[in-house]
Amino acid sequence: MGLSEKQVQEFVGGLTDPVSGKPFAAAKAVKSVRAEGGRIEVAIELGYPARSQHAAIAAGVETALRELPEVTAAQVSVSSRVVPHTVQGNVKLLPGVKNIVAVSSGKGGVGKSTTAVNLALALASEGARVGILDADIYGPSQPQMLGLHDARPESEDGKTMIPLQAHGLQANSIGFLVDVEQPMVWRGPMATQALRQLLMDTNWDDLDYLVIDMPPGTGDIQLTLAQIVPVTGAVIVTTPQDIALLDARKGLKMFEKVGIPILGIVENMSIHICSNCGHQEHIFGAGGGEKMCADYGVPFLGGLPLDIRIREQTDSGVPTVVADPQGPLADAYRSIARKVAISIAERQRDMRFKFPNIVVQNT
């Protein structure tokens, strides 16, 4: 006599998800079980995008099941489904967007925009529907990074914009609306209003994640954005350098003050790899990002090297994740993206869409 469906459910639920490192039961990922005699069929649904890992997860669970003496055959399917999760305070959710990830840095020049675009592309490569909003009003760089520097968004109603498409991403930026050499000589309230319109007046189409490339710093624009944008969580980008870490800590504290959880810290330019000889050197110091994570109890998402290919590929409008999708740098970005998505998936779900509308009628 074979195992019962309940026994299979409990067994598979006790197995560890190799990507998240937690039991499948903890995320309620075992969606269906079918057991007939010794033949087992299991469907696993992950709460985060991980298309590159589906086959390995399925193979691992099948192997574990086949080692049971009662099992003669096992077939496991793995899929992913992203749902909305809670945001700070009572901020209204954005139509067409399930989760918003703010990518921030305390100071400029640490590779925040490069990290943001590759994070967005990595999430998309793992099967998610992703958009990116360039929130750096004074120095928009995403049009260049996405190869859209000559593009302009269209409008069907004269009021809202259709996001542009690049490498599978939906995108919008103030850089699409102004001349590339025109400086944005605006005070804080003007810049904040322009950014709010870019965010709210774009017809985002059923996004699992909207990645916001935040302006550097912790001034009025950043604080206002953190208060009005329904952010699921923030990613802090820093370098190992002490001065950069000082500013990154301020950015982390800003998000804490407005109730936005920190999904983790990315240490960019963590090591330099010589393009000629391959020699590795910690130009900006070592271990700074990990120490900051330990100090504040937040996840370390990973370190990225100071590699000339990242700069060349991004400057050309074809960022690393799409320029060399099978390379080690793209793997590093995908690993960071999965950790971000897992951190979001483990947060409380937003149930506002679940409540029914009550209509009173005279009958």
Name the binding residues for ATP.
106-113
Q: What is the DSSP letter of 176?
A: G
> Among all chains, which residue has been given the structure tokens 């979001």?
344
How far is the CA of 19 from the CAs of 50, 78, 124, in angstroms?
A: 9, 13, 17
Closest CA to 85 of 346, 263, 349, 343: 349
Task: Judge whether 105 and 117 are in contact, CB under 8 Å.
Answer: no
What end-to-end distance do the CA atoms of the chain give, in Å?
Answer: 56
How far is the CA of 184 from the CAs of 68, 176, 260, in angstroms?
A: 66, 13, 28
Question: Binding site residues, as ranges?
Answer: 106-113
Phi, psi of 184 (to 5 degrees): -90, 90
Phi, psi of 297 (to 5 degrees): 65, 40
**Residue-by-residue DSSP string for 202-214:** B---SEEEEEEEP
Which tokens hold the place of 347?
Answer: 């947060």
Task: Judge whether 17 and 29 are in contact, CB under 8 Å.
Answer: yes
- Distant-in-sequence, close-in-space partners of 298: CB < 8 Å, separation ≥ 6: 252, 262, 263, 264, 265
**263-276 burial, b for 16+ CB within 10 Å, e for fewer?**
bbbbbbbbbbeeee
